[in-house]
Amino acid sequence: MIRPIASSLAAATELAWSSGRGRLLLRVALALMVSAMPVVVAWLTKAVLDRLATPGASLTFPVLLLALAGVGVAFLPEVTQYLEGELERAIGLIARGRLYAAIAGMPGLRRFEDPRFHDRIALATQAGPSGPSDVVGGALGGAQGLLTLTGFVATLAVLSPWMLVPVLAAGAIALNGQLRLSRYRAETIARLGQASRREFFFAQLLTSVGAAKEVRLYGLGGLFGTRMLAELRRINAGHRSLGRREVLIQGTHGILGAGVAGAGLFWAVTTARAGGLTIGDVSMFILATAGVQNGLTIVIHGVGRMHEAMLLFGHYRFVVGAEPDLPEPVAVNGSRPSVRPLTKGIELRDVWFRYGDDLPWALRGVNLTIPAGRATALVGPNGGGKSTLVKLLCRFYDPTRGAVLWDGVDLRELPVAELRRRIGTVFQDFMAYELSAAENIGVGDPAVLPADALADWERGDRARVVDAALRAGCHETLTGLPNGYETMLSRTFDPINHDDPATGVLLSGGQWQRVALARALLRDDADLLVLDEPSSGLDAEAEYEVHRRLRDHRDGRTSLLISHRLSTVRDADSIIVLSGGTVAEEGSHAALLGHGGLYARLFGLQASGYLDAPQDQVWT
Ligand SMILES: Nc1ncnc2c1ncn2[C@@H]1O[C@H](COP(=O)(O)OP(=O)(O)OP(=O)(O)O)[C@@H](O)[C@H]1O
């Protein structure tokens, strides 16, 4: 119990320290001053009242000090609050930076597909901005309350040690309650995480442009709205139960505190009447009782806040400290292995792969070679494993069994980022970024993009983007947009690097596909070009044109083309037919047609669609 708390506290303090040690030290100094203030005020009040009751005693000095302390009491909390906000923002910046760097640095895809890890990420993002500062703030608040408390406990001990017993007992009960409450609070947040995500998902569906067509056509608005509200009700029920516990626990705490204060006051007044206490002692007693209660509340609140923040901060630390989901190769004799230009080819050797232990095999003992400098095509029925194979080539996953070899070297022995820099890919489900047209191509090689979206591009980098667009056949489309390459390909955001707000443009599916192709072609030095359905959305003429350009581009390069349109793969050097996760056939177009197997049948079906053959002949 103690060790995780200490390690969480140490991690949060390290974050706070890195965010600016001066600010943190000032905050600690303020905490000390604020904690001392109530005790100082109580002693000064006692001094003033006692001198008031003593004829001839001078009042000037204690009254002056009391007035000065009053200024401090009024002013210090404001400064503390401001500084706490500053600390929170500074820590939040660092924590966020580290969190997103850790998420972006996860090399594989498996973690993103694991719902439990996804939940952790959601909770870590929730804790990210304020979690660590809440841990530090809670600890400081707790320490502040503890110091005030100690000052007053010492004071009460001088006046009447017996009064300490009920006061501290009430405090211990409240502290225990508050700890239970904060654990329950964090559990509630974690438990409601799934419901919150589903509620957010349905709310987004109802407002997203992408879903608007289907939502309207199928009349899904009512259904999604009802589901969203059902999730919201679940969330509300969770918060209601939390609220009730809060009322119960805090209410009991309040009643206990008030009882103790009332009993104490009765004792103090009776004793003073009997001459056992001075007026100053009574005022000190009243202030000390309130101060102990107040100090306890601050300690309880601080500890509760810290405890709660620590539970969420635990998720943050888990994500930031997670081991890479794909092991990186170790350096041998101080030198890291590097990925050499592809000269022989890529080989899949008895590759078996499934997405999870409980899921069926997507690839079953695949053996194939993608020779360097040649064009290889991958075809086959839906679900055959083509896209999965591409994901293994890019090393988003490691094979469950077998190996993928780059010029004979297992991909697991190569640095993954370096490997990916040698691959240009158009994915079947490529991204349409809500960025400008130029940036949408530029993301293919982040080195060409200025780090600040508002900064100007390097002239040479811009020329590379235009060159890629020319090769992908989208240059004319992009220059024809209202702001040319600067046009935002989205209507969600205003453009940020020029003043004309009315220029967001939505491209057609085929136009987007060409932009995605340009993105891949931007890596003109890539050893391997993977095109997963690069032309499915293109019209016949554009498809012909794009494939002609691609042929020129591929000439002498290694490429892997995946397509269901078999006419586009017929001139590949080798065609591999993947079906049910295994290689069904392999050969040139002519050889496969001659073989009369699956490829010949699929090709015949597609070809007959372009002829005037009667339907009954086409489908037999
Ligand atoms: N992320 C994933 N998690 C679990 N299973 C997956 C995932 N992606 C694909 N699969 C499964 O793996 C199998 C192969 O899918 P894959 O996408 O590789 O086929 P494909 O040949 O590219 O299909 P298509 O021609 O339809 O694009 C399918 O059974 C699919 O359900």
CA distances from 85 to 13, 14, 20, 82 (A): 16, 18, 13, 5
Three state DSSP letters for 237-249? HHHHHHHHHHHHH
Whose alpha carbon is nearest atom 8 of ligand 1? 388
Kindly give the distance from the C-alpha atom of residue 396 to the centroid of ligand 1, in angstroms, as a whole number. 14
Asked, for residue 229, whether it belongs to a domain, the answer is no
Which ligand 1 atom sits nearest the alpha carbon of residue 356?
4
One domain, residues 464 and 605? no
Whose alpha carbon is nearest atom 4 of ligand 1? 355
Kindly give the distance from the C-alpha atom of residue 386 to the centroid of ligand 1, in angstroms, as a whole number. 8
What mean pLDDT is predicted for residues 371-375?
A: 90
What number of other Cβ atoms are within 10 A of residue 202's Cβ? 19
Q: Up-side HSE of residue 310: CA atoms within 13 Å toward CB?
A: 24
Whose alpha carbon is nearest atom 18 of ligand 1? 385
pLDDT for res 58: 85
Kindly give the distance from the C-alpha atom of residue 55 to the centroid of ligand 1, in angstroms, as a whole number. 94
Q: Give percent above pLDDT 90 in the chain.
A: 25
Whose alpha carbon is nearest atom 16 of ligand 1? 385
Which ligand 1 atom sits nearest the alpha carbon of residue 564?
25
Examine the fold and report which residue of 270, 288, 320 is the final residue of a domain before the chain moves on: 320
Contact call for residues 284 and 268 (beta carbons, < 8 A): no
One domain, residues 92 and 109? yes
Does residue 438 have a pLDDT over 80? yes
Examine the fold and report which residue of 286, 320, 354 is the final residue of a domain before the chain moves on: 320
Does residue 577 have a pLDDT over 50? yes
pLDDT for res 619: 38
pLDDT for res 586: 94
One domain, residues 456 and 394? no
Q: Give the residues surrounding ligand 1 with Cβ less than 6 Å away.
A: 113, 355, 359, 362, 382-388, 428
Whose alpha carbon is nearest atom 28 of ligand 1? 383
What mean pLDDT is predicted for residues 288-307?
A: 77
Ligand 1 probe mutation, 352, 354, 355, most atoms within 8 A of CB: 355
Kindly give the distance from the C-alpha atom of residue 117 to the centroid of ligand 1, in angstroms, as a whole number. 21
Kindly give the distance from the C-alpha atom of residue 362 to the centroid of ligand 1, in angstroms, as a whole number. 7
CA distances from 337 to 323, 331, 412, 419 (A): 20, 7, 11, 11
Kindly give the distance from the C-alpha atom of residue 397 to the centroid of ligand 1, in angstroms, as a whole number. 13
Which ligand 1 atom sits nearest the alpha carbon of residue 578?
21
Asked, for residue 215, whether it belongs to a domain, the answer is no
Cα–Cα distance between 129 and 312 in angstroms, integer?
11
Question: 516-528 burial string, b = 16+ CB within 10 Å, else e?
Answer: bbbbbbbbbebbb
What single DSSP character describes residue 234? Answer: H
pLDDT for res 191: 83
Confidence of residue 170 (pLDDT cuts 50, 70, 90): low
Write the pLDDT tens digit of every residue in 271-293. Answer: 888 888 888 888 888 888 778 77
One domain, residues 308 and 446? no
pLDDT for res 553: 67
What mean pLDDT is predicted for residues 186-206?
A: 85
Which ligand 1 atom sits nearest the alpha carbon of residue 384?
21
Asked, for residue 57, whether it belongs to a domain, the answer is yes
Which ligand 1 atom sits nearest the alpha carbon of residue 360?
29
Whose alpha carbon is nearest atom 29 of ligand 1? 383
- The structure tokens 């935002």 sit at 488
Q: What is the CATH number for 560? A: 3.40.50.300
Asked, for residue 207, whether it belongs to a domain, the answer is no
Examine the fold and report which residue of 270, 289, 320 is the final residue of a domain before the chain moves on: 320
One domain, residues 534 and 601? yes
pLDDT for res 611: 61
Write the pLDDT tens digit of every residue in 253-265. Answer: 778 777 877 887 8
Cα–Cα distance between 522 and 471 in angstroms, integer?
9
One domain, residues 392 and 437? no
Cα–Cα distance between 444 and 533 in angstroms, integer?
18
Cα–Cα distance between 312 and 190 in angstroms, integer?
9
Owning domain of residue 482: 426-517
pLDDT for res 453: 67
One domain, residues 353 and 414? yes
pLDDT for res 127: 65
pLDDT for res 197: 81
Cα–Cα distance between 31 and 136 in angstroms, integer?
12
pLDDT for res 116: 80
Kindly give the distance from the C-alpha atom of residue 547 to the centroid of ligand 1, in angstroms, as a whole number. 25
What mean pLDDT is predicted for residues 323-341?
A: 80
Ligand 1 probe mutation, 112, 325, 363, 386, most atoms within 8 A of CB: 386
Kindly give the distance from the C-alpha atom of residue 217 to the centroid of ligand 1, in angstroms, as a whole number. 28
Look at 9 and 49; give whichever has higher pLDDT: 49
Ligand 1 probe mutation, 387, 392, 536, 598, most atoms within 8 A of CB: 387
Whose alpha carbon is nearest atom 6 of ligand 1? 355
Does residue 380 have a pLDDT over 80? yes
Does residue 352 have a pLDDT over 50? yes
Kindly give the distance from the C-alpha atom of residue 354 to the centroid of ligand 1, in angstroms, as a whole number. 10
What mean pLDDT is predicted for residues 108-127?
A: 80
Does residue 179 have a pLDDT over 80? no
Whose alpha carbon is nearest atom 2 of ligand 1? 355
Does residue 492 have a pLDDT over 80? no
Length of the chain: 620
pLDDT for res 10: 86
One domain, residues 485 and 596? no
Write the pLDDT tens digit of every residue in 548-571. Answer: 776 666 666 788 989 888 887 888
Name the pTM for this structure. Answer: 0.74
Does residue 252 have a pLDDT over 50? yes
What single DSSP character describes residue 332? Answer: B
Which ligand 1 atom sits nearest the alpha carbon of residue 391?
18
Which ligand 1 atom sits nearest the alpha carbon of residue 388?
18
Which ligand 1 atom sits nearest the alpha carbon of residue 428?
27
Kindly give the distance from the C-alpha atom of residue 236 to the centroid of ligand 1, in angstroms, as a whole number. 38
Asked, for residue 332, whether it belongs to a domain, the answer is no
Asked, for residue 325, whether it belongs to a domain, the answer is no
Does residue 93 have a pLDDT over 80? yes
Which ligand 1 atom sits nearest the alpha carbon of residue 109?
1
Does residue 386 have a pLDDT over 90? yes
Write the pLDDT tens digit of every residue in 129-166. Answer: 677 778 888 888 888 888 888 888 888 787 777 767 76
Does residue 425 have a pLDDT over 70? yes
Confidence of residue 620 (pLDDT cuts 50, 70, 90): very low
Whose alpha carbon is nearest atom 27 of ligand 1? 382
One domain, residues 54 and 102? yes
pLDDT for res 399: 96
ipTM of model over 0.90: yes
Kindly give the distance from the C-alpha atom of residue 343 to the centroid of ligand 1, in angstroms, as a whole number. 30
One domain, residues 418 and 435? no
Type of residue numbered 526 = A
Kindly give the distance from the C-alpha atom of residue 356 to the centroid of ligand 1, in angstroms, as a whole number. 12
Domain count of the fold of the chain: 3
Kindly give the distance from the C-alpha atom of residue 389 to the centroid of ligand 1, in angstroms, as a whole number. 10
Q: What is the CATH number for 289? A: 1.20.1560.10
What mean pLDDT is predicted for residues 363-391?
A: 93
pLDDT for res 223: 93
Residue from 452, 444, 155, 449 nearest 295 by CA: 155
Kindly give the distance from the C-alpha atom of residue 602 to the centroid of ligand 1, in angstroms, as a whole number. 20
What mean pLDDT is predicted for residues 58-74?
A: 89
One domain, residues 407 and 434? no
Confidence of residue 616 (pLDDT cuts 50, 70, 90): very low
One domain, residues 186 and 64? yes
Asked, for residue 84, whether it belongs to a domain, the answer is yes
DSSP codes of every residue in 93-155: HHHHHHHHHHHHT--SSHHHH-HHHHHHHHHHHHHHHHHHHHHHHHHHHHHHHHHHHHHHHHH
Contact call for residues 132 and 15 (beta carbons, < 8 A): yes
Kindly give the distance from the C-alpha atom of residue 530 to the centroid of ligand 1, in angstroms, as a whole number. 17
Whose alpha carbon is nearest atom 19 of ligand 1? 383
| Surface-to-core class of residue 581, CB atoms within 10 Å of its CB (0-12 exposed, 13-18 middle, 19+ buried) | buried
pLDDT for res 396: 93
Confidence of residue 615 (pLDDT cuts 50, 70, 90): very low
pLDDT for res 617: 45
What mean pLDDT is predicted for residues 36-62?
A: 88
Kindly give the distance from the C-alpha atom of residue 238 to the centroid of ligand 1, in angstroms, as a whole number. 37
Whose alpha carbon is nearest atom 30 of ligand 1? 383
CA distances from 401 to 341, 359, 389, 414, 582 (A): 26, 15, 13, 18, 14
Which ligand 1 atom sits nearest the alpha carbon of residue 389?
18
Asked, for residue 376, whether it belongs to a domain, the answer is yes
Cα–Cα distance between 390 and 405 in angstroms, integer?
13
Which ligand 1 atom sits nearest the alpha carbon of residue 533?
27
| Surface-to-core class of residue 196, CB atoms within 10 Å of its CB (0-12 exposed, 13-18 middle, 19+ buried) | middle
Write the pLDDT tens digit of every residue in 534-550. Answer: 666 666 666 677 667 76
Kindly give the distance from the C-alpha atom of residue 403 to the centroid of ligand 1, in angstroms, as a whole number. 19
Look at 495 and 573; give whichever has higher pLDDT: 573
Cα–Cα distance between 484 and 146 in angstroms, integer?
64
Does residue 239 have a pLDDT over 60? yes
